[in-house]
Structure 1
């Protein structure tokens, strides 16, 4: 009888899983939703993609949206006294927070997101985390992040000093992240965001300098190329928080360089080098945690269904043309660096990321 009962339960479960969930037609929209409360976010999505993200381009605006999500949320401490976390304070109290040195350049995305939130009656905390999730989905190879809506507007300012600087020591960075509730492994997972990042303010003479050779693709190249031996100084000379780069046209942050080689983080860094699936899994989990810092999730609504499904990245991890396995500064003592194919052709200079088309 036990086996018959089990077979019956499996059969019922199969029917339930095979039955499509009923969807609700959203008013004045081409979209449908499982949860009618999420319908308004489809309107925000259409507006965001058309008027901020240049019809879903994985460019400068996408990187900026991901950057503001981190800078807003990390204003938080598990001990209290460092802001309200993912609450939109960086927009609501922009007169204070955008003046912090670590937030240099964030005004370029903060203003369009403020306008978007006001136009649709959304909180700044929600619009920031929503735009970050959509930004990642616009990048080939990106993770499909969750999105919970319903954050109340911020009531307190985050203080200066909550965002780690690229010239901070590894110990200082790990301590700040631990204070916000993140492990060293989670920090490295969050740095997958650097795969679509570009620097505008470290050296203002060379804006749009990417951190890896494929800045429009959410992939593992940053975890490979930061470990390459350094040969190149972009711009007129090294700036604070910058170290030599492995390829012409790239910029390498001092913090990335040191985290990739520190015994506390090197093996996690290397584990992503040839494993996009693992990187995305860990990044998704870390971003889910980051996006609700300071929030009571009991009062939030899961509207993850609104986030688009990213396109696949069909290019496997590689060593850039002209580089070899011997150019890798492997720093994980426990595991050899994986063998990777070498990109064909001569070594090339990496082009800068074009400025934001939206004007943000």
Structure 2
């Protein structure tokens, strides 16, 4: 082959590699890189209006994000090594076999969001596993300061019921949680990264007498306030007393899980916990990264189609820095990170902070 011919082939190869990815036009003039992603715009429009009440960061958004974890964490390489079925991970089995999996003690309360989501998955003829991860990503994108999660489509709708006892419980000791999550492939610090989701969370079933009790004072913002307030000394219960999985809370109307309380103060995770108080960008980035791992448990990501373009870009907001709630001081903080001094924080003005419950969906 002549030098000119070789040069021409090389030039074509360089031009091809430099060419922008081919765009496919979907409904309403929206574009994606893969035509298989177009259907997800229709799903997006439907759930933003009819599941998330007009793109709100409300209870259904919180519960949808929670469901991504409860479905995916049903995955145990240790059980597979023992010759047992270890679960399919993020495969939608919690929706396909809801009568079995929502009866597991650790899954108490997820039956409501499973049944709310199911009609949407059936209507749009997408797999349960895909829909659960999609809805979680869309829901959290509605929260102020929230992340934009990766979304990969193409999970099969064929699954088996997950084994019981794979979802950590709020009453579990840190060693138990670290061991279970470690089996699924997560380090202690990655558990903290996942717990950024609790910044937009509330409880309904640990104490069913006070549903919608948030874990921090800003339940519609994906911010660092949760990481501050979990380190405050507990002084009261928001309901009528202690429940299994609950410990004293620092603020009237706020709920604290035993597991959050312990992980925040464990020497293996305390510094990661404290670091998020003054670094919102790191909290969001690490949450996005660890959710990539969670959402693909039980799958080879190379077998899936990247449809992340469909996930809304969270609105640009400037969140205020984390502060001490009104009526609290640094003396109320139970700092546990030995390597780094606790940051200096301002204090909210006014009378002692009281937190209202999250309105029901």
Q: Say yes or no: TM over 0.5.
A: yes
- Deviation per CA, 1:25-57: give whole Å up to 9, x if none: 214x34222322211100000011011011110
User: Partner residue of 1:7?
Assistant: none
For residue 248 of structure 2, the aligned residue among 244, 250, 254 is 244
- Does 2:294 correspond to 1:280? no
Residues 125-144 of structure 1 mapped to structure 2, 5 A cutoff: 125-144=129-148
- Does 2:347 correspond to 1:348? no
8 Å Cα contact 2:190-2:290 kept in structure 1: yes
For residue 306 of structure 1, the aligned residue among 306, 310, 313 is 310
- Does 2:25 correspond to 1:25? yes
Distance in 1 separating the partners of 2:241 and 2:252: 13
Residues 151-300 of structure 1 mapped to structure 2, 5 A cutoff: 151-300=155-304
Distance in 2 separating the partners of 1:321 and 1:20: 52
User: Partner residue of 2:3?
Assistant: none
Cα distance change of structure 1 residues 256 and 23 upon mapping to structure 2, 3 Å threshold: same
Distance in 2 separating the partners of 1:145 and 1:85: 18
210-219 or 101-110, which deviates more: 101-110
8 Å Cα contact 1:87-1:125 kept in structure 2: yes
User: Partner residue of 2:88?
Assistant: 84
8 Å Cα contact 2:246-2:256 kept in structure 1: yes
User: How many angstroms does 1:159 deviate by?
Assistant: 1.1
8 Å Cα contact 1:82-1:162 kept in structure 2: no
35-44 or 175-184, which deviates more: 35-44
Distance in 1 separating the partners of 2:328 and 2:312: 36
- Deviation per CA, 1:167-202: give whole Å up to 9, x if none: 111000000000111100111100000000000111
Distance in 2 separating the partners of 1:34 and 1:97: 36
Distance in 2 separating the partners of 1:278 and 1:326: 26
User: Partner residue of 1:64?
Assistant: 63
User: Partner residue of 1:329?
Assistant: 334
Distance in 2 separating the partners of 1:240 and 1:34: 48
Distance in 2 separating the partners of 1:96 and 1:339: 48
**If the length of structure 2 is used for normalisation, what is the TM-score?**
0.91
Distance in 1 separating the partners of 2:20 and 2:242: 56
Distance in 2 separating the partners of 1:150 and 1:336: 46
What are the ranges of 5 or more consecutive residues in structure 2 without an aligned counterpart? 1-13
Cα distance change of structure 1 residues 71 and 334 upon mapping to structure 2, 3 Å threshold: same
Work out the number of aligned pairs and report it. 341
User: How many angstroms does 1:215 deviate by?
Assistant: 0.3
User: How many angstroms does 1:315 deviate by?
Assistant: 1.7
User: How many angstroms does 1:65 deviate by?
Assistant: 0.4
Distance in 1 separating the partners of 2:158 and 2:105: 21
133-142 or 73-82, which deviates more: 73-82
Distance in 1 separating the partners of 2:318 and 2:54: 19
Distance in 1 separating the partners of 2:341 and 2:251: 23
8 Å Cα contact 2:203-2:211 kept in structure 1: yes
The two structures, once aligned, show a CA RMSD in angstroms of: 1.7
User: Partner residue of 2:9?
Assistant: none
Distance in 1 separating the partners of 2:45 and 2:125: 15
User: How many angstroms does 1:151 deviate by?
Assistant: 0.5
What are the ranges of 5 or more consecutive residues in structure 1 without an aligned counterpart? 1-11
Distance in 1 separating the partners of 2:214 and 2:158: 32
